[in-house]
Amino acid sequence: MKRLWVAFFMFWPLLAVVVCWFAADMNWWLPRHDGTIGGAEGVTTAFSPIGQRIDDLFHLILIITSVVFVGTHIALGYVVWGGAKNVDEGRKSVFTHGSHNLEVMWTIIPAGVLLFIALYQMDTWAEYRVKSTYPEKALRTPIAEITARQFEWRIRYPAPGREFASDAEVDQWLMGPQPGDLYSVNELHVPTNRPVIVHLRSMDVQHSFFVPKLRVKQDAVPGSIIPIKFEVTKPGEYELLCAELCGWGHYKMGAKLIGRNTQGHAAAIEKMRHDQEYDGITQPADSVVDQTESTTRMARTN
């Protein structure tokens, strides 16, 4: 019976390892862009450079923790098995209060490993979250401003072709809607294969911008505008979800992030402009310029 208990305690870590080993094949693993099952595409399948860095870090930590998990459980099984043997053979317990050398050893080694993990990942974090390390051109070209509200994503794009000369001008644009801005709801259009920046804000409560397949997440905090920096490396549609509890409809606050190459993106923006500015009566090609001018004039007189 005693040895049965050892088997009982050893069975579940074994099962855990087996389940994790086959998890990717069962599609219980990091979500992939195309939804394929199986490891055909290798381990890193996030379609953004930061996502790939995160996946690599995840796998590194997974390897380290798996070694510790298996090691400690083998040790646990060994000592319990040894205990069962001691009982059967009628031996007395070993009388010891510990070992200084062992304590030093199992303090310094884990400390080194933990410090290694801590320092190793700093670079990734710095590259995507610290402003000075992100390409200046991307910082100056905000793709969109995203306003989260219960329970949808409202997106505002700068007027097509608009250039921002300075950070101050970007800040000015973020102050409020400006003439020529384009709007969409629950559809975020992003160009692929270049670092982009979008600015996130909330209209009501706290939300969180989460694109699982890109491994991007950022909370939207009421009263703050927070930049999100990422890059999409493969054109396609990606789910955009809310990851911070925002009320009863939290679960259904879904949207789409649509990545297209440079031409495709420009075409999508152009179509958006067409749809937004065409009133159905006049010829769109002629009226576009007039409308933009009249809005500008109205803004000035105000």
Partner 1 sequence: MSTINHPVSSHDLHHAHHDPGFVRKYIFSTDHKIIGIQFLITTLIMLMFGGALALAVRWQLAFPWSYVPILGNMIEQFALQGGQMSPEFYTMLFTMHASVMIFLVIIPVLAGAFGNFLIPLMIGADDMAFPVLNMLSYWFMWPAIFCFTMATGLGAGLNGVEGATAGAAAGWTSYPVLSAIQAAAPGSGAAQNWWLLGLTLVGVSSMMGSVNYMTTIINMRAPGMTLFRMPLTIWAMFITAILQAFALPVLTAAGFMQLSDRVFGTTFFIPGGLDINNTDPSVGGGQPLLWQHLFWFYSHPAVYIMLLPAMGMVSDMLAATCRKPIFGYKPMVYSLAAIAGLGFIVWGHHMFTSGMNPALGMTFMVSTMMIALPSAIKVFNWIGTIWGGRPVFNTIFLNCVAFISMFIVGGLSGIFMAAVPVDVYFHDTYFIVAHFHYVLFGATLFGVFAGIHFWFPKMFGRTMNDTVGKMHFVLTFIGFNCTFFPMHLLGISGLPRRYADPYIHPYLEHLLNMNQFMTISAMLMGVAQFLLLGNFFYSMFFGKKCGRNPWNANGLEWTAPSPPGHGNFDIPPICYRGPYEYSSPLVPDQDYLPQTHRLTSVPNPNPTTAT
Question: Which one, 219 or 292, has the nearer CB to partner 1?
Answer: 219
Question: Which one, 63 or 267, has the nearer CB to partner 1?
Answer: 63
Q: Which of 261, 216, 255, 211 is nearest to 236 (CA)?
A: 261
Which residue type sits at 124? T
Shortest Cβ distance from residue 276 to partner 1 (Å)? Answer: 22
Question: Which one, 109 or 298, has the nearer CB to partner 1?
Answer: 109
Shortest Cβ distance from residue 283 to partner 1 (Å)? Answer: 37
Shortest Cβ distance from residue 90 to partner 1 (Å)? Answer: 9
- Strand, coil or helix: what is 148? strand
Q: Which of 74, 76, 69 is nearest to 17 (CA)?
A: 69
Eight-class DSSP state of 78:
H
Would you say 32 and 41 are in contact if contact means Cβ atoms under 8 Å apart?
Answer: yes
Using CA atoms, how far residue 127 sits from 21, 122, 200, 202, in Å, is 31, 9, 19, 25
Question: Which one, 100 or 300, has the nearer CB to partner 1?
Answer: 100
Question: Which one, 130 or 267, has the nearer CB to partner 1?
Answer: 130
Shortest Cβ distance from residue 112 to partner 1 (Å)? Answer: 10
Number of C-alpha atoms within 13 angstroms, CB side, residue 22? 6
Shortest Cβ distance from residue 142 to partner 1 (Å)? Answer: 17
